Structure 1
């Protein structure tokens, strides 16, 4: 036979179930539909309740209230009670942190395990009022890995305009909220804060503000949530590819064929550019004198070579602006390309340096020869004159004469 305490509990559950079937609720609770929790961490269940009009006379907030949590199917089984605030020992370790007299039944459970994955109902027990809200429950899902943070972009990411990126991660255990970190291809400033959601759950929000460049287009950014669990951390991340809008960049014009062509032949000019959104208009200009004149529109431009004013450039335009190419000139056979005046300048300076160097060498040589000793100079000059003005035979006879004098 069941003890009286369990009998009252079963009768209360039965009557609550019957009233719900007829559209009446003895207790109206407000709580989230679902909570995702990490193994080994804690979970906070935001909870509040109200008393229907038909029971407000019975409910006395001055009397000490007990909060009870019941798991699984609502079938009136006492062993499904996992927590009772009036007891010191419960199947789940936890506490009601809300003020029950203010109809706040917020509860925290510690050291969550995978066995906690289930649905949970809330019940009030007091004298003479006791009731269970069988029409509302919270689903707790426990996993070993955290859910990925949510990353959003506020507005259009446009070159030169500051943009904000928002990353939020659930904080099922507000006592140990996650830390959010960013990986961005540029410098940024960040701001983190713990905030309350519409269902009274908590989350951490991180906002990053930076100034995008067209070089950041299609680069990945990452927001990482680091959850402290015991002595270790568990992480989850979210990646997003940047879509930066920018005006045309690296605009260039090319000629085909690029080799010199004859007057009267056909050449094709092509304009290319990088832009987001893509280029919508290409425009070609010919330079005659100092004034550019528009001659065509389109990505490519074909023309007959005339040999007069063959200097062109193109412009690329999208909704964010335009980009201009460098000027290109047609190479025509039979026409010598004008020599750049700088070539004459370089050649003139080079010849001047060579002439100056030659003068220095010449005067140095003259200076050295004028400073030789007088004896050596006269002897050298005499021998030189003899060798120059006398026949070879004369030199040989003199040598022979010296030989006979020694005999």
Structure 2
């Protein structure tokens, strides 16, 4: 009986040891779950490992361990083709290298010239005599495609009008040596900031942040972030579009009238308020304007009223959580009054036009008259500048039949009167000739007092003295 009991004890002890070891890994590798890779590019696999306590005495840190990558399954016994890379070998199925420091348990690896055949799961193994172990429970899934994955767009907070906002665009960088370039397309001016960052799973990505100030015109406008990946001698691109959702107070608030203008006194009229807002308008309020004062008369998007004699002026106010907007004042036009208003407007316009024409004619007449006077003054000055005294001019214009004047010393001083035509310098006309051209030309005469041989010059700054006598149409 003792023997069977001893056997049972040994079996139980063995089973407890097996259960204690069940579920424990011989190697703990840390790597991303998935990597998206471009055909023809490279892929970097962030990797690190740790040795369980029960195997640390078998791991010799003084010896550089070899890193091995196995494709498809962690078990390669009888399938040596599953081993695609071994850092201790000079030639491998996949071209690559371990860039991490294996002595510090960093197994980060880069594979070059990736093709679509690389798409699969990969397991990591270390070989450090006498310790050999593979992490059979952790793998990285590499997915190779001809086109890059789309970048990711995120918004920091609510997008409000006239409030600066930041948008973030990130694109994976499976090959940090050939990181993507991010560009933006926005309906307004903006500033950008780009940086290469490390994600929690130790993968790399490029982050671009754009800052701008939106307005309500940008609501429902598209923005685009484009990622351009350099692959060999060409580029591959992917983009992400997003529609802006801009919050703004009511805009373009207006009032429509049904039935249309003009309306009859006592009839029923419906006023409807419309406005653009995001979020939508929650409250519409109606005000009547009278003598500059505003009085609330109704609420709601529509307002129905009976038309009075004066029609009345009305304003609609639209409001949401971001503010309010008011319409222009609306004046109800009453039938029969619009003709009076039109007539008044036409009369005012006609009167204004007539006044302008009258002012123009008066200005033209004054200008022409001043021009004639100015020309006459210039001619008088010219005659004096040529040493031709006024008395001499009068003497040369003596009428026919008169005897020549005696020398000044033989005759007593006397006053001579002469006719001077300031529009044309010519010989003196006879009264008959002047009478013949009464209708066509205006003649102006000045009285000149000659003392001896020197005539008294008229004062140029006094037109009343210059034209002491004016002879028009033959009259003195």
Q: Deviations over 1:342-374 (max 9, x none)?
A: 859845751541441463488489989983666
Distance across 1 between alignment mates of 2:169 and 2:102: 34
Name 1:86's counterpart in structure 2.
Answer: 88
Q: Is residue 37 of structure 1 aligned with residue 41 of structure 2?
A: no
* Aligned length in residues: 368
Name 1:105's counterpart in structure 2.
Answer: 107
Structure 1: segments with no counterpart, 5+ residues: 1-17, 386-407
Q: 1:127 Cα shift?
A: 1.0
Ranked by relative contact order (alpha carbons within 8 Å, sequence separation 6 or more), the top structure is 1
Distance across 1 between alignment mates of 2:227 and 2:201: 21
Q: Deviations over 1:126-176 (max 9, x none)?
A: 111111111111111111100000001111101011111010000000111
Structure with more of its chain in strand, by fraction: 1
Q: 1:259 Cα shift?
A: 2.5
TM-score when normalising by structure 2: 0.72
The answer to whether the Cα contact below 8 Å between 1:288 and 1:309 also exists between their aligned partners in 2 is no
Distance across 2 between alignment mates of 1:204 and 1:19: 46
Q: Secondary structure at the match of 2:335?
A: coil
Matches within 5 A, 1:289-368: 289-308=291-310, 310-335=312-337, 336-337=340-341, 339=344, 346-347=352-353, 349-357=355-363, 359-360=365-366, 363=369
Q: Deviations over 1:53-88 (max 9, x none)?
A: 210111111112100001013342212111110111
The answer to whether the Cα contact below 8 Å between 2:73 and 2:123 also exists between their aligned partners in 1 is no
The answer to whether the Cα contact below 8 Å between 2:123 and 2:135 also exists between their aligned partners in 1 is yes
Instruction: From 359, 362, 371, give the equivalent of 2:423.
Output: 371
Name 2:164's counterpart in structure 1.
Answer: 162
Matches within 5 A, 1:115-154: 115-154=117-156
- How has the CA–CA distance of structure 1 residues 125 and 301 changed in structure 2, closer, same or farther, with 3 Å as cutoff? same
Q: Secondary structure at the match of 1:142?
A: strand
Q: Deviations over 1:249-307 (max 9, x none)?
A: 11112223333222111222121111011111111110111110001111111111112
Name 1:253's counterpart in structure 2.
Answer: 255
- How has the CA–CA distance of structure 1 residues 227 and 365 changed in structure 2, closer, same or farther, with 3 Å as cutoff? closer
Structure 2: segments with no counterpart, 5+ residues: 1-17, 376-420, 440-476
Name 1:52's counterpart in structure 2.
Answer: 52
Name 1:404's counterpart in structure 2.
Answer: none
The answer to whether the Cα contact below 8 Å between 1:20 and 1:135 also exists between their aligned partners in 2 is no
TM-score when normalising by structure 1: 0.83
Distance across 1 between alignment mates of 2:437 and 2:282: 93
Q: Secondary structure at the match of 1:35?
A: strand
Question: Which range moved further: 302-311 or 288-297?
Answer: 302-311
Distance across 2 between alignment mates of 1:165 and 1:128: 54
Larger radius of gyration: 2
Distance across 2 between alignment mates of 1:230 and 1:377: 112
Distance across 1 between alignment mates of 2:320 and 2:19: 67
Q: 1:20 Cα shift?
A: 13
- How has the CA–CA distance of structure 1 residues 179 and 198 changed in structure 2, closer, same or farther, with 3 Å as cutoff? same
